[in-house]
Chain A
């Protein structure tokens, strides 16, 4: 799994707080922010530092702490 997909997956899971129905809504919310969510999840979008930065900014907007992801990994 590439880094971008890892970050995106983590944001979706954390924001959804275990609610799988919410995961779909959150994916669509992230898409509305300008991210090709499907492309990343289907690994059609290669790792890209600019995209990772964008996802980190979204994590901050969602109040998702990406440091927890580092701890898990």
Chain B
């Protein structure tokens, strides 16, 4: 077994490459969402970060913040984790939009409501992966989505447990997005595994 900590740190060129691929993916993901809800979607921020494991939950407003998370893992030629994070009340507004209900009509999360959110996660996550996979001739297959109401940190633990087996830092692409009326908004997190970065960099001709 390799006894060194894998260094996930990206140099400037690698960061630029990962950034441009992530942006292609996020663009495709947001246009998928726009088609799904039949509204314009705006990205209010996009950041690419490398953070120590201990600080990673701060990305979503703190580890103990109650959120509705839609989680997908992906595997295939590379692996990683995708998550949509919504304030619970905003998630309900999104469900109203998806189900064509009057605003405020959705109060609980039963099977149909969870399925609507899950399908949104499936479309956003798949569209993100489609763009990157096609750009690099890879196959990246998402898992079925899981919709979870819990503390943000508790949901993210599954990603950290996988990534921290090899590294101490986590690379995250974080996008805040919303409809122009801000009725629906959320955060889309992409947390690649160490192997994902190796694969995309070597497929693009950069050795990691």
Q: Do A and B belong to a common assembly?
A: no
B residues at A contact (CB < 8 Å): none
